[in-house]
Amino acid sequence: MTDLRDKIAAVIWENDRARVACVADAIIAALPDMVAPLVWRDTHGVWRAETPWGDYKVYGRILTLPLPMKPQRVYSGEAESKAAAQAHHAAAVVAAFTGSRQ
Q: What is the pLDDT of residues 42-62, one digit of tens each?
A: 999 999 999 998 999 999 999
Q: Could you give the dihedral angle defined by the CA atoms of residues 86, 87, 88 and 90, in that order, rounded to the nearest 10 degrees?
A: 80
CA 52 from chain center: how many Å? 13
- Report whether pLDDT(101) > 90: no
Q: What is the pLDDT of residues 10-48, one digit of tens each?
A: 777 776 777 777 777 787 788 888 899 999 999 999 999
pTM above 0.75, yes or no: no
What sections of 1-102 are H helices per DSSP? 2-34, 78-98
Check the CA dihedral 43-46-47-50 and report its sign: negative
Q: Are 99 and 85 in contact (CB under 8 A)?
A: no
